[in-house]
Structure 1
Amino acid sequence: MAEPLALYVHWPFCVSKCPYCDFNSHVRERVDQVAWRDALLADLRHEAALLPGRKVSSIFFGGGTPSLMPPQTVAAVIAAADAAWGLIDDCEITLEANPNSVEVASFAALAAAGVNRVSIGVQSFDPQILEFLGRAHSGDEARRAISAAQAHFARVSFDLIYARPGQSLAAWEAELAEALAFGTGHLSLYQLTIEPGTRFATLAAKGDLVIPDGDAAADLFDATQAATRAAGLPRYEVSNHARRGEESRHNLTYWRYGDYAGIGPGAHGRRLAQATERHRKPENFLSAVARNGHGLKVETDLPPHERATEAMLMGLRLIEGVDLTRVEARSGLARDSFVDAGAVARLAGQGLLVQESDQLAVTDAGILLLDSILSEVVKTD
């Protein structure tokens, strides 16, 4: 029997654009909600026709700001996925939300629509940092949103951004302690990165924005690991921490290189040994759906070696590492064509990798060197 699918649903609209964000998000004065619901359902039906006989293990509403979606639209997408594929028992259904009060007010309706996990974009509790990050909520709104989410959803996660300009170790430890005190089962803790094309990239190029250097960032990372482990939420991926059993099943599908369908503007997918991408601009997506019955812009066959490489690059982000036998099965290649055994042996001797039978993993000592380890271990051609 084929493995279950993950389904990603992209809602492209936001109230405003954050200066660090490179996601496919757009600000529009008006959104035709009926047109958008119909377009998403048509896009879903197209994927379902290509992937018969599968079940759905997780649905993730991302964005943009999907908590701005009408709960009726969320319910319609969940129902359509269930009708087309069937949802596994205890299917994980996640929706990203901002802490603004207008969005928090819809939590009860979203839970009634079928959402059972929420991921909140807190980023910081500090008002000055929130202003710096271009966030439209206050620290108190963030605190209230987390509490409200815990009242309505079985599982709650929220994001924080650290390694910010001028951030001290003591300040981050205090902020992280406050975050852990909420007792959520999952936290996503990201170091601030400067993404090309963002306003922060422009400021950095002028020298007006400087993030912590490698040593300072490493100290912040180490403090993060110590605090989360002590609280029972150890890292299971580079930036994601969870109580045992509360890992994001949806994201694990990505990292374990499972199949996932992506619908909505700019959504990416990996299914049937193909990479898919939808039209990014909302208006272009709607036009494509009206014209073709789906929003696909690109549908590219993935050669075996590219599949193997992607699986390695994703899987080595996980504490559990990558199952080489699974990569062989997914790509049809022998592991010596995509893994440099000599590099594995050398890095294992340095304590940066560990291999047990078919499982290859980066150690805690190696995780800050992940990019260089990947470049040595993974044969890209």
Structure 2
Amino acid sequence: MEDWQNGGFGLYFHWPFCQSKCPYCDFNSHVSGAVDQEAWGAAFLSEIDRVSAETSGRLVQSIYFGGGTPSLMEPSLVGKILDRVRLRWSLSNDVEITLEANPSSVEIAKFRDFRATGVNRVSLGVQSLREDDLRRLGRLHSVTDAKRAIDVAQSVFDRTSFDLIYARQDQTLADWECELAEGLALANGHLSLYQLTIEQGTAFGDRYNAGKLRGLPNDDLGADMYFLTQDMTSAAGLPAYEVSNHARTGMESRHNQIYWRYGDYAGIGPGAHARLTVDGQKFAIDTPLAPNKWLAQVNETGHGENTRTALSKQDQALEYLMMGLRIGDGVTLSRITCLLDDVFYNKIKYLADDGLIETDNGRLIVTRDGRPLINAIVKDLLP
């Protein structure tokens, strides 16, 4: 068995277009007044044909439409993509097909059409249940829109999720406790809860650098909010199965688990990334960020890749640790042993003595106290 088979195989499609650019967002998203969906569809289908030739015989366990705002796609285009995927690969009986959406009335109206194409899970970018904060975050929807979208999504799809951002400007611990309680009452299986991070190159990053982004919580308050989140979600039956993701048993995101369990995934679209094993060698693959550049490249050269880099065993060990230690059941030490000659058991003992990690039945797991320090833990573990 090749290493990637421990994590499975999935497909990611990136739709780079949005109605507006949120000030905190560092994803590859672009505002465009008009999009030629027919031309984009032809490019996606061409890439499906190319990638499937390298991965023939694999079982697709998950398909994910991310962005950008993929719910701005026409359902007919999503249907064409999924039909081509079914033609080129076999799909698992319980394949998860997720589409990200914003809670606007235009997108909500498409939910049943998306469901008819085969989409069986929707992830809503709610971000806040407070009107003032929605405006601060640059969101175009209202709290009423968000609640209606959640209600409609849950009536159409068996599996749903929505995102909330906390540690926002001027937010107190009591504010977040109240808002999270509302979110938990609305959720029916999965919640993604992210601390606001200020990324360079974003509008928030520019304001922060200029000293104009005021009211952000200090580190202690941010930590208090994080641990409050863990306590409240666990009590509500949606414990963290990953640092920022919470779910009832069986409702975990199958697609994200392919990433966290370090499987293989193809990435199609501008700015999409991939990890693919070909002839026993695992490659890191990226694509051009600019939408028009990616589209032109597919049309002119027949492929949408930018770079393809062979990953060393140590590279793979680093990535597996970085991803796998984020989830509740951690990483398998036997897989690490296959990737590294030095399995750093002395470092494991050192970090375990500090209460940051533990070993259980052949697995290395980050403790509750260690989860906020994952990046530092991985750096300490690697030789």
Please state how far the C-alpha of 1:123 moved relative to its aligned partner. 0.1
Is 1:343 aligned to 2:347, yes or no?
yes
Partner of 1:232: 237
| SS of aligned partner of 2:284 | strand
Cα deviations by residue, 1:295-337 (Å, 9 ceiling, x for unpaired):
11111111111011111111111111111222444x4x33x2x
Match of 1:252 in 2: 257
Is 2:293 aligned against 1:288? no
Residue of structure 2 in register with 1:104 after alignment: 108
Task: Give deviations 1:90-149, integer Å, cap 9, x for gaps.
Answer: 100000000011001100100111110000000001111001000010010000000000
- The match for 2:25 is 21
Distance 1:87 1:357 in 2: 32
Letter in 2 for 1:246: M
Q: Is the 8 A contact 2:322 2:374 kept in 1?
A: no
1:224-269 CA distance string (max 9 Å, x none): 1111001100001110001011110100000110000000111100
Read off the aligned partner of 2:329 and give its amino acid letter.
E
User: 1:183: Cα distance to partner?
Assistant: 3.4
Q: In the alignment, is the contact (CA less than 8 A) between 1:265 and 1:285 conserved in 2? A: yes
Amino acid at match of 1:311: Y
Q: What TM-score, normalized to structure 1?
A: 0.96
Per the TM alignment, residue 377 of structure 1 is displaced from its structure 2 partner at its CA by 1.4
In structure 2, the residue matched to 1:125 is 129
Q: Which residues of 2 match residues 355-374 of structure 1 at below 5 A?
A: 355-374=359-378
Report the aligned-residue RMSD.
1.2
2:325 corresponding residue in structure 1 = 316
The question of 1:87 aligning with 2:91 is answered: yes
SS at match of 1:365: coil
Q: How does 1:261-340 map to 2 (within 5 A)?
A: 261-272=266-277, 273-329=282-338, 331=339, 333-334=340-341, 336=342, 339-340=343-344
- Please tell me the residue identity of whatever aligns with 1:24: N
Q: Does 1:203 align with 2:207?
A: yes
Contact 2:167 2:225 in 1 (8 A): yes
Report the 3-state secondary structure (helix = DSSP H, G, I; strand = E; otherwise coil) of the residue aligned with 2:213. Answer: coil
Of residues 203-212 and 308-317 in structure 1, the stretch that sits farther from structure 2 once superposed is 203-212
Contact kept, 8 Å, 1:268 with 1:278, in 2: the verdict is yes
1:158 and 2:162 matched = yes
Q: Is 1:340–1:376's contact at 8 Å kept on the other side of the alignment?
A: no
For 1:33, the aligned partner's letter is: Q
From 182, 197, 213, give the equivalent of 2:186: 182
SS class of match (1:296): coil
Preserved CA contact (<8 Å) 1:10 1:62 = yes
- In structure 2, distance between residues paired with 1:227 and 1:73: 40
How high is the TM-score relative to the length of structure 2?
0.95
Between 351-360 and 121-130, report the one with greater CA deviation.
351-360
Q: Deviations over 1:335-376 (max 9, x none)?
A: x2xx43222101111221101242001000211222222221
Query: 1:15 and 1:287 mapped to 2: Cα distance?
Result: 23
Contact 2:161 2:187 in 1 (8 A): no
Is this contact kept in 2: 1:308–1:328, CA < 8 A?
Answer: no
The answer (yes or no) to whether the contact 1:99–1:141 under 8 Å persists in 2 is yes
User: What CA distance in whole angstroms lies between the structure 1 residues aligned with 2:361 and 2:32?
Assistant: 53
Cα distance in 2, alignment partners of residues 137 and 326 from structure 1? 45
CA contact (8 A) 1:125 1:175 kept: yes
Contact 1:312 1:378 survives alignment (8 Å): no
Task: Decide whether aligned partners of structure 1 residues 261 and 304 sit closer, same or farther in structure 2, where only a CA change above 3 A counts.
Answer: same
Q: What CA distance in whole angstroms lies between the structure 2 residues aligned with 1:327 and 1:51?
A: 25
Structure 1 residue identity aligned to 2:223 = A
State the distance in 1 between where 2:370 and 2:334 align. Answer: 23
Aligned counterpart in structure 1 of residue 174 of structure 2, from 170, 177, 185? 170
1:243 aligns with 2:248: yes
Gap runs ≥5 in structure 1: none
Aligned AA for 1:317? R
Task: Report the Cα distance in structure 2 between the residues aligned to 1:327 and 1:28, rounded to whole angstroms.
Answer: 44
**Equivalent position to 1:41, from 25, 39, 45:** 45
